[in-house]
Chains A and B, each alone.
Chain A
Amino acid sequence: MDKDLFKVLKELKNIQPDLDYSKQSRLLLLAQTRNDAEKDAELRGNIFRVFYPAKLALAVGIVILILVISGGVYYINNQLNQNDLVVKASEMNASIQVKLNEIRYLLKNNPQPDTESILAIQVLLEKAANELKEVSALGDKDLNESLKKIDSTREILYQIDDILKNK
């Protein structure tokens, strides 16, 4: 009987975490620098208390959005040859980076973050990412449309700016 019990205990070693969860968790962990981890953990705790079911999705969403935006701007910088577009894209790139830094600073230093604002910023970032994705899809087929989309992205960044200023 003892043998059977120990045999069953050994079989419990087959329990494995879900692969998707493991990947997401790893991505989240490594997206943070060690020095930022503590404050971010506190912040996540605050956000997650309110949005518990969506906690992982929210955090992963933000990371993915940052990647999509960065990727989109990188694409623009590297694929389009028209000077105007490149200059504007570079400007946007810089603006987005500044904005992301501001958001990061806000999230890190606010022990009681305004979850409504965070969600509003998330929605706006999503919109900005979509605009840039469309620019990527357009390529140099329609430069005017691409420039419009970049301007629209800038407008969205201004809206984010307004939210940040009101903090």
Chain B
Amino acid sequence: MIDGEKNLIERAIKGEAEAFGLLYDRYQPQIYRFVYLKVGHREEAEDLTHQVFLKSWQNITEYSFQGFPFSSWLYSVARHQVIDYYRTKKSNIALENIAELKIENPAPRTIDNNLDIERVKIAIHQLKDEQQDIIVLRFIEDLSLQEAASILNKTEGAVKLLQHRAIKNLKNILNLKS
């Protein structure tokens, strides 16, 4: 757990809004990124991210430290929020909407001509839900196997298998040789 985080959480549990605000500042970008890569729409991602933090704030008394950063709990809330979102919408994102996937803050291009950020983003979006999760958590956010397992409520072995399949599928979608 990041220095001072425990203190912030304790203060937030007591109802101190400013403490929760600091947790928001610390984790909102990565939760937004997680949601955005799963829903593929900036505005939907903004709305859902807001809901994630709203739910976290209202349920923070249910949080209990389990050896991982506070973000693990937020990721779990975010996962369920996205699941609910799709359940409510009862529809998958149409192909024309996938084309809307664009990076707001352009990152440096890769050296590979055939593999760019846009293609990878669209490919991630075509993965199954849990495979998207593991790609984001393990390879974008650099979470440990243990932490990813905790968020996905799986064993480390299951997560290893999941990430192997996710990478394999991602490569298939991108037409890359394994």
A116 contacts chain B at the CB level, 8 A cutoff: no
Interface of B is mostly: helix
Does the CB pair A30–B28 fall under 8 Å?
Answer: no
* B residues less than 8 Å from A34 (CB atoms): 15, 57-58, 60-61
Bound-state CA distance A28–B47 (Å) is: 12
A32 contacts chain B at the CB level, 8 A cutoff: yes
Chain B residue nearest to A9 in the complex (CB):
B139
B170 contacts chain A at the CB level, 8 A cutoff: yes
How many A-B residue contacts, CB cutoff 8 Å?
Answer: 114
B120 contacts chain A at the CB level, 8 A cutoff: yes
Does the CB pair A26–B21 fall under 8 Å?
Answer: yes
Does the CB pair B50–A25 fall under 8 Å?
Answer: yes
A163 contacts chain B at the CB level, 8 A cutoff: no
**Count of B residues near A, CB < 8 Å?**
51
Bound-state CA distance A18–B43 (Å) is: 10
Does the CB pair A30–B117 fall under 8 Å?
Answer: no
Identify 12 new A-B residue pairs, CB closer than 8 A, beyond the known A12-B121, A14-B107.
A1-B176, A8-B120, A12-B140, A14-B106, A15-B33, A15-B37, A15-B103, A16-B29, A17-B29, A29-B17, A34-B58, A41-B55
Instruction: Give me the interface of A with B, judged by CB distance under 8 Å.
Output: 1, 4-18, 21-22, 25-26, 28-30, 32-34, 37-38, 41, 55
- Show 27 residue pairs from A and B whose CB-CB distance is below 8 angstroms, ordered by the A residue: A1-B176, A4-B111, A4-B115, A5-B176, A6-B139, A9-B120, A10-B139, A11-B107, A11-B108, A12-B117, A13-B141, A14-B103, A15-B36, A15-B103, A16-B32, A16-B105, A25-B49, A26-B28, A29-B21, A29-B50, A32-B57, A34-B15, A34-B57, A34-B58, A34-B60, A37-B57, A41-B55
